[in-house]
Structure formats: C-alpha cells, structure tokens
Amino acid sequence: MTHQFNLSASLAGAVAGRSGAWTFIRDFAAHWDGTALGGSDGCTQAELDTAEVRLGLRLPAALREAYLLFGRRRDLTSNHDALLDPANLYVDDAKEALVFRHENQGAASWGILLDSLQNDDPAVLVRLDLADKRAERWENWLERLSLCFVEIVLSESLHGDEQLCDYLDADDHSVELLESTAVRLPIPAYPPGEEEGRGTRWFLGRDVLLRDDDGMAVLARGRTAEDLDRVRDLIPGDWLNDHR
C-alpha cells in the first residue's frame, strides 16, 4: 500500500482485538477517508450516560469506545446504513437485543443480545425484517462488536464519493478475476454458518478496497479515480458508475 498506512497489516491487528480495531479506524479515516479523527468527532460521556439511564442497562465497553471515538462521523458510519445516535438506541420489542444500527431501507437491524451486554466486546447479531414476523430471528453476524465497527467503516466507505466508488453485478468469472488480481484481507467471511456460498469477503487491490457479497456483487472503493478505473479494467463488466 503506502509507507504511511499498510491497510492489510493494520486490519490484521483490528481482527485480533478491540484496541487494534480503534487504531485501524483512526488510520483508515486519516489515510483513506482523508479526514483524521478529531476531538469533536465522538459523542460525549454524558450522552452515553443518559442513554444508559433511559434504557436501564449498561452499554458494553466497545460500544462506548466506538461512540466516543467517532460516533458523530456520519461519513464513516452512515453513508448507506445508519448507526443510531445514543439517544435512539433501543431494545427490540421481544426484549432480546439492544439495537444500534439499521439497514437503509429498514430491511435489517443489528444488535447485541441483552444477556451478553456484560461482555466488553460482545458478539453482534442481525435480524432481517420479514413479512412473516414469526420467522424473524437474531442471527450471528460478527463475533466481536469492535470488529463489527471495523466492518461498518469499511462498508460505508464503499458508498461515498461516486467518483471513488462503484458496484458490479457479479458472476463466477468476475469473482475469479477478483480472486486472482487482489489479495484477500484477514476479516473472516461473514455471516458465519452459511450452508451455501462464500459469505461476504474483503480484498485489497492496488490502492482499491473491494468487497465480494457472496458472489452476487462486487463493490469497490479506490484511493483515487484512477485507481478505481484500474480495477474496472481488471474486472470488466457493467460497473454502475463507469461513465467513461
């Protein structure tokens, strides 16, 4: 990558533990998003304390740390799906989970089971919004909340400036090209326990971040427009934002 920030190596640290996750997010914000984290980018201790009183529960350490570090940076957390403000955190109707994130069209929610809130860095689950509400279940997503925040920052970066981001409906050939021209990043495929398919996987090309959504779509984010054009040429197809 660059002499300033080795994305793959830093991401390995993020996968290892929550201190590495916050280091990765700081570096990613500075070197890929282009705006380093500052003191005004986080929520306040008072906002989080007020949320705890309103909810009648304690927030996990990793959730507090994430909100304190970058809870106000919508460009890192809410370009597509939405990280809820502390005042909007809520417990689901079934009283099973604390919900902290919504899919942009309400198709899914992400949460932490109430019986795991005592853990500093608990697992994150996802619940799809189904027509048959009786079929809705909290399903495994990522094993640690801090890793989920890394995934949030990476995923939201794919939905930023149209000149730097693009989307391709994938097929087997485009996925094969992705695997042969980019390096697999160390985030485990998710969600776990998929009976079929690959799950979501992350790759790094030459200054291009790529996400493979179970072989159905490839999303790309370049450091520059030229970097994005390069990956479009390496993986040809009907890229949504390619107007060349």
Instruction: Indicate the pairing of strand 208-213 with strand 200-204.
Output: antiparallel
Q: What is the band of 2 on the pLDDT scale with cuts at 50, 70, 90?
A: very low
Q: Say what the pLDDT of residue 177 is.
A: 97
Q: Report residue 87: phi and psi, to 5°.
A: -70, -15
Q: Say what the pLDDT of residue 222 is.
A: 96
- Given phi > 0 = left and psi -120 to 50 = alpha, else beta, which region is 118? alpha
Question: pTM value?
Answer: 0.95
> What's the rounded Cα separation, in Å, for the pair 20 and 23?
5
Q: Report residue 159: phi and psi, to 5°.
A: -120, 35
Is the CA virtual torsion 12, 14, 20, 24 positive or negative?
A: positive
